[in-house]
């Protein structure tokens, strides 16, 4: 009985991987096949008009995956070139974006976690602050941008502020929720051992609420990475968002698709990193 289950599991995993690969090949093949660039007419002299129009395809098509791969190879083989303030390698652009995201995110964590603790431990604070949180939470990051630019008077700091303001809410709410949800028995045990409130907070409540807090942090980093692309498209200058905008400006979909993939990969790595931290603090009841 036991043996068959394992076999079944192994073959399930194997079959899942196989299916994933088949889907990928099928998808890419279809995409490639449907989007072949037509070969332009059989040589011959082009008229002046045709020469002026040459280069662009007869009808615009989504670039096939082979082109995206070639572009990816070009960009990734020289990721750190710097050809002036408006033309930098993909590695430098991602570096700028990560710097902004991590700065805004860490600032948000420094404020959200203590504040969340306070809200979670005190029903009074929760009731008093809740209306504000509910109003501020759903505001789109880009709506903040004009105001931030006007008040902060610096586009770099404004981008970081937008990350901050958008990534603070999930951390705040999850911390409050986690702290409020710590089992009353455990707090009572701490009380019978005559632990000081500070010790109770750090030695009982924090470890108990840690998995919920980490979930909030994981949601937040995802949001922060979503927001940075939009913010950089608006403010421009540097970063992966600017890269997308700049290639859109040139209607270069190959580069846009490549950067979409890069955004996805980096977002996944950020999530995996926080997932690994979450495993460290997880516990079984």
Interface residues toward other proteins, by CB under 8 A:
48-49, 52-56, 58-60, 83-87, 146, 149-150, 153-155, 233-237, 242, 245-251
Q: By C-beta, is 7 or 58 nearer to other proteins?
A: 58
Q: By C-beta, is 89 or 120 nearer to other proteins?
A: 89
Among 228, 222, 219, 225, CA closest to 175: 219
Q: By C-beta, is 162 or 171 nearer to other proteins?
A: 162
Measured CA to CA, the distance from residue 168 to residue 113 in angstroms comes to 9
Task: Show the tokens assigned to 148.
Answer: 């931030």
Measured CA to CA, the distance from residue 119 to residue 129 in angstroms comes to 8
CB of 88 to other proteins, least distance (A): 9
Among 257, 263, 271, CA closest to 230: 263
Q: By C-beta, is 81 or 202 nearer to other proteins?
A: 81
Do the Cβ atoms of 137 and 170 come closer than 8 Å? Answer: no
CB of 241 to other proteins, least distance (A): 10
Cβ-based neighbour number of residue 184 at 10 Å? 8
Q: By C-beta, is 13 or 51 nearer to other proteins?
A: 51
CB of 24 to other proteins, least distance (A): 29
CB of 243 to other proteins, least distance (A): 10
Measured CA to CA, the distance from residue 159 to residue 235 in angstroms comes to 8
- For residue 64, the 8-state DSSP code is P
Q: By C-beta, is 224 or 233 nearer to other proteins?
A: 233
CB of 166 to other proteins, least distance (A): 19
What is the helix (H) or strand (E) element at residue 221, kind and residue range? helix 206-235
Among 108, 273, 104, 270, CA closest to 175: 108
């Amino acid at each position: 009985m036991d043996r068959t289950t394992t076999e079944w599991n192994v073959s399930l995993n194997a079959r899942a991987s196989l299916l994933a690969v088949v889907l990928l090949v099928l998808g890419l093949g279809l995409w490639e096949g449907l989007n072949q660039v037509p070969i332009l007419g059989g040589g011959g002299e082009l008229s002046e008009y045709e020469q002026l129009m040459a280069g662009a395809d007869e009808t615009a098509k989504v670039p096939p995956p082979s082109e995206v791969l070639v572009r990816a190879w070009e960009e990734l083989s020289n990721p750190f070139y710097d050809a002036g303030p408006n033309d930098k390698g993909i590695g430098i652009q991602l570096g700028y974006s990560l710097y902004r995201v991590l700065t805004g995110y860490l600032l948000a964590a420094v404020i959200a976690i203590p504040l969340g603790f306070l809200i979670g431990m005190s029903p009074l604070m929760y009731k008093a602050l809740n209306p504000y949180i509910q109003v501020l939470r759903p505001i789109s990051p880009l709506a903040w941008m004009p105001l931030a630019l006007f008040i902060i008077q610096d586009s770099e700091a404004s981008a970081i502020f937008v990350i901050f303001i958008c990534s603070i809410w999930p951390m705040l709410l999850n911390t409050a929720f986690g702290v409020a949800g710590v089992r009353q028995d455990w707090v009572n045990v701490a009380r019978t051992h005559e632990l000081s409130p500070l010790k109770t907070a750090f030695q009982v409540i924090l470890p108990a609420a840690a998995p919920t807090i980490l979930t909030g942090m994981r949601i937040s980093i995802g949001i922060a990475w979503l927001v940075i692309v939009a913010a950089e498209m608006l403010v421009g200058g540097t970063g992966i968002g600017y890269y997308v905008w700049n290639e859109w400006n040139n209607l270069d979909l190959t580069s846009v698709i490549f950067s979409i993939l890069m955004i996805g990969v980096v977002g996944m790595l950020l999530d995996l990193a926080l997932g690994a931290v979450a495993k460290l603090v997880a516990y079984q009841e």
